[in-house]
Amino acid sequence: MATTEEGKTVFDVEAANVLSKELRDVFASGKTRSYEWRISQLKSIVKMCDEHEEDIADALRQDLSKPQLESIVYELTMVKNSCTLAIKELKHWMMPEKAKTSLTTFPSSAEIMSEPLGAVLIISAWNYPFLLSMDPLVAAIAAGNAMVLKPSELAPASSSLLAKLLPKYLDCCSIKVVEGAVSETCALLEQKWDKIFYTGNGRVGRIVMAAAAKYLTPVVLELGGKSPVVVDSDIDIQVATRRIIVGKWGCNNGQACISPDYIITTKDCAEKLVDSLKKELEAFYGKNPLESKDLSRIVNSDHYARLTNLLDEDKVSGKIVYGGERNEANLRIAPTILLGVPQNSLIMKEEIFGPLLPILTVSKIEDSFDIINSGTKPLAAYLFTNNKKLKQQFLMSVSAGGVVINDTALHLTVHSLPFGGVGESGMGSYHGKFSFDAFTHKKAVVYRSFVGDASVRYPPYTRGKLRL
Ligand code: NAD
């Protein structure tokens, strides 16, 4: 590690090189492969969550003013659930899977062995700083790897808490934490890893993938995108509205990768939907949502400026039908609904990742498919309808990382489903068994004995052998 003139140590390329070598050595020792090591680390994470629930919720409050309930339900409980599932299923996941053999290899048997990849790098994002660091870490442990975690510098309280707690609870020779921003991440990216698991935006996703290409390192990229909500007219509007609100503002005030980004509905339905959204938003967050304790703040002044810039653009500034209030001093922006924004406005060009929700209108609900498909493939897509045919058309026409019909964001909690993007919303997936698989190599193994040694594949290659 280098030292600055002020005497501060810097995590540079050399330090990253030493760290990656340490992790390679510990992996080569075989320590992280054992069932016992994996289980003990997973149990320690549960213990850490239980013993530091308040500290974790407090760090999330400092970083984002995240409401306690959201911290517990969407970060802590989800991590504990991932551990509990892995602890319960690990023996089964680790077991070789029998595979069929063919006449060509007769007599033989075959199996698929789940092999840990080695030393892996996990880079996480700021919006769910505990969950997005710990969930991939749980996966890498369950799969038997050595690892380094680089939490996001934009959630400094969570990052420093992780750096403090993980060495206390986990095997610090095999599981490292490096705090820092771009230069520290780049130093890590210069090293050879056996897998890189990155959560964040697509611009940095490209940087990660380019670095990985140097060593042909496989990557999981958990990215974002504009996740649409299509609202048909034949629905229970109050239930739909509440579920949209919870997926949007109830998840970190819109700063979530699977937050509804925009709504598409028919011209007839738009007014009813806006009225319902206004009524339910007021019931949830009161008449002055800037004061609500149930809404996170915007993470920092750069993101605040980015979001207010989207609102202030000439093309959309007159389109606000609800909300729009803001307070730069405490980085708060109220839930804001915009109606009739042009498709070529800035707010419709980039992922919003905040409390603004534009509503677009179409003449026929099926026209929404073309609007969605004119952009990049979203991480999530939502449809509210009772129409069976429309559900099928939606599933067939819209490509997205995941789809929920008649709700939002819930697919994230279903552990039997893979969570990940498609196209520009990401590659690879995790959650449940998919997490274990994300950090595992499926090794093909064929067992033969010395009997039945058919001579047909041995030279000389005679015509008679061809006919067999
Ligand atoms: P971020 O700013 O925390 O960046 C993510 C990580 O990349 C951080 O650890 C950061 O240090 C590192 N980084 C930033 N710039 C870098 C650079 N130039 N070189 C190397 N590393 C760099 O998070 P973000 O990107 O603002 O996160 C928001 C985005 O992430 C949104 O697009 C959101 O949809 C997406 N996201 C996806 C998921 C998912 O599970 N698919 C979850 C959360 C967020």
DSSP character at residue 145: -
Q: Is 49 a catalytic residue?
A: no
pTM: 0.97
Q: Does the ipTM surpass 0.85?
A: yes
Write the burial class of residue 455 (CB in 10 Å: 0-12 exposed, 13-18 middle, 19+ buried): exposed
Smallest CA separation from ligand 1 atom 17, residue: 182
**Nearest atom, ligand 1, residue 151 CA:** 9
What distance in angstroms lies between residue 423's CA and the mean position of ligand 1's atoms?
17
Q: Does the CB atom of residue 422 touch ligand 1 within 6 A?
A: no
What distance in angstroms lies between residue 20's CA and the mean position of ligand 1's atoms?
22
Q: Which of 257, 269, 280, 424 is catalytic?
A: 257
Which positions ≥6 away from 256 have C-beta within 8 Å? 127, 128, 409
**Average pLDDT of span 404-426:** 97
> Position 281: which residue type?
L
Q: Does the CB atom of residue 132 touch ligand 1 within 6 A?
A: yes
> Position 240: which residue type?
A
Cβ-contact 195, 163 below 8 angstroms = no
CA atoms within 13 A on the CB side of 276: 17
| Cα three-residue angle 246-59-196, rounded to 5 degrees | 80
Q: Does the CB atom of residue 162 touch ligand 1 within 6 A?
A: no
> What's the chain's average pLDDT?
96
Q: Where are the alpha helices (DSSP H) in 146-292?
A: 156-169, 182-189, 202-214, 237-248, 267-285
Smallest CA separation from ligand 1 atom 42, residue: 257
Rounded distance between C-alpha atoms, residue 385 and residue 357, angstroms: 20
One-letter-per-residue 3-state SS of 369-417? HHHHHCCCCCCEEEEECCCHHHHHHHHHHCCCCEEEECCCCHHHHCCCC
Q: Which of 70, 75, 184, 222 is catalytic?
A: 222
What distance in angstroms lies between residue 165's CA and the mean position of ligand 1's atoms?
22
**What's residue 468's pLDDT?**
63
Q: Is 83 a catalytic residue?
A: no
The neighbouring-strand residues paired with 388 are: none
Q: Does the CB atom of residue 152 touch ligand 1 within 6 A?
A: yes
Smallest CA separation from ligand 1 atom 10, residue: 152
Q: What is the pLDDT of residues 231-261, one digit of tens each?
A: 999 999 999 999 999 999 999 999 999 999 9
**What's residue 317's pLDDT?**
86
Candidates 383, 429, 417, 354; CA nearest to 136 is 429
One-letter-per-residue 3-state SS of 107-128? CEEEEEEEEECCEEEEECCCCC
- Crossing angle of helices 77-94 and 35-51, rounded to 10°: 170
Which positions ≥6 away from 21 have C-beta within 8 Å? none
Q: How far is CA 387 from the centre of its chain?
A: 30
Smallest CA separation from ligand 1 atom 13, residue: 182
Q: Which residues of 381-410 are buried (b: 16+ CB within 10 A; e: fewer)?
A: bbbbbeeeebbebbeeebbbbbbbebbbbb
Using a pLDDT cut of 70, give the percent of the chain over it.
99
| Cα three-residue angle 412-154-430, rounded to 5 degrees | 25
What distance in angstroms lies between residue 125's CA and the mean position of ligand 1's atoms?
5
**What's residue 6's pLDDT?**
75
Which of 11, 160, 185 has the most ligand 1 atoms within 8 A of CB, as the residue to mutate?
185
Using a pLDDT cut of 90, give the percent of the chain over it.
92
Confidence of residue 160 (pLDDT cuts 50, 70, 90): very high
Q: Does the CB atom of residue 200 touch ligand 1 within 6 A?
A: yes
**Average pLDDT of span 132-159:** 98
Q: What is the pLDDT of residues 71-114, one digit of tens each?
A: 999 999 999 999 999 999 999 999 999 999 988 888 999 999 99
Smallest CA separation from ligand 1 atom 37, residue: 223
Q: What is the pLDDT of residues 176-202, one digit of tens each?
A: 999 999 999 999 999 999 999 999 999
Which of 199, 253, 302, 376 has the most ligand 1 atoms within 8 A of CB, as the residue to mutate?
199
**Nearest atom, ligand 1, residue 225 CA:** 34
Q: What is the pLDDT of residues 200-242, one digit of tens each?
A: 999 999 999 999 999 999 999 999 999 999 999 999 999 999 9
Strand, coil or helix: what is 286?
Answer: coil
**What's residue 17's pLDDT?**
98
Rounded distance between C-alpha atoms, residue 265 and residue 384, angstroms: 10
Cβ-contact 64, 256 below 8 angstroms = no
**Nearest atom, ligand 1, residue 181 CA:** 11
Candidates 60, 82, 302; CA nearest to 181 is 302
DSSP 187-215: HHHTS--SEEEEES-HHHHHHHHHHHHHT
Candidates 104, 27, 370; CA nearest to 228 is 370
**Nearest atom, ligand 1, residue 379 CA:** 41
- Among all chains, which residue has been given the structure tokens 């922006």? 333
